């Protein structure tokens, strides 16, 4: 952890080699997190680019109150949430394109349709439930890590997840009834 803080110190001084080291370590994590939030490879690339630009600019502001990983996760979650709210201009106009309808590229083809339906249901959750569910059930992060990331207690995280799952089941039930009972 101390070593990683040192890397951030070097990056704050403009060291590109240190930046490349950090990128090599965390780019896959950030890219997959962005994919979990947006299910679109092109938007995930834009989010990853934004996240690492922010890391480069703000490396000097890292105070070591959390681990470097948690700090990066936090930037990535905030950037992903902002991107999902962005109007259909700039790179995010492609939200409605074909690739987002095809779902997360890392999911087996036979599960893709269900994954798209789950993603649409997740998008209807309140923001904190959406973050907790995505980090816990899609990114499969340990509960404590989700709590640290969201700066809430473990108990509050559990409660958010319970509410998120309950609401998702209600939304999915409606989807099922529309599909098979119509």
Partner 1 sequence: MNNDKSPKERQNAWIESTMNSYRGKQTMSPPDELFKRIEQVIDKDSRSSKKLNWYVPFAAAIVLLLVNTTAVVQYVEITKSSTEQTTENYLINDYNLYDYE
* Residues binding partner 1: number (CB under 8 A): 40
Q: Could you tell me which stretch among 33-41, 83-91, 92-100, 146-154 binds partner 1 (CB under 8 A)?
A: 33-41
Contact predicate 62/19, CB 8 Å? no
Q: Among 5, 27, 58, 66, which residue interacts with partner 1 (rule: CB under 8 A)?
A: 27
| Number of neighbours of residue 131 by Cβ within 10 angstroms | 21
With respect to partner 1, which residue has the nearer C-beta, 88 or 179? 179
Token pair 């990535």 is found at 76
**Alpha helix (H) residue ranges in 39-142:** 41-58, 68-85, 98-101, 109-122, 127-133
Task: Give the pair of three-digit tokens for residue 104.
Answer: 């997360």
Token pair 């509050």 is found at 156
Q: Among 43, 95, 118, 146, which residue interacts with partner 1 (rule: CB under 8 A)?
A: 118
Q: Among 114, 123, 124, 154, which residue interacts with partner 1 (rule: CB under 8 A)?
A: 114
Q: Is residue 172 at the binding interface for partner 1, with CB under 8 A as the rule?
A: yes
Contact predicate 55/109, CB 8 Å? no
With respect to partner 1, which residue has the nearer C-beta, 60 or 64? 60
Residues in touch with partner 1 (CB under 8 A) = 16, 20, 23, 27-28, 30-32, 35-36, 41, 44-45, 48-49, 52-53, 56-57, 104-108, 111-112, 114-115, 117-118, 137-138, 165, 168-169, 172-173, 176-177, 180
């Amino acid at each position: 952890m101390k070593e990683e803080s040192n890397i951030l110190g070097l990056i704050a001084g403009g060291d590109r080699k240190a930046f490349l080291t950090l990128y090599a370590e965390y780019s896959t994590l950030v890219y997959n997190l962005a994919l979990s939030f947006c299910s679109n490879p092109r938007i995930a690339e834009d989010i990853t680019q934004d996240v690492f630009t922010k890391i480069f600019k703000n490396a000097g502001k890292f105070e070591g109150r959390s681990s470097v990983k948690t700090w990066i996760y936090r930037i990535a979650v905030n950037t992903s949430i902002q991107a999902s709210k962005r109007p259909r201009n700039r790179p995010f106009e492609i939200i409605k394109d074909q690739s987002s309808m095809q779902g997360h590229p890392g999911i087996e083809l036979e599960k893709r349709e269900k994954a798209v339906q789950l993603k649409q249901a997740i998008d209807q959750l309140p923001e904190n439930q959406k973050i907790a569910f995505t980090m816990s059930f899609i990114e499969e992060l340990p509960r404590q890590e989700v709590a640290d990331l969201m700066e809430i207690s473990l108990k509050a995280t559990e409660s958010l997840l319970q509410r998120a799952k309950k609401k998702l089941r209600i939304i999915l039930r409606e989807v099922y009834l529309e599909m098979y009972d119509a």
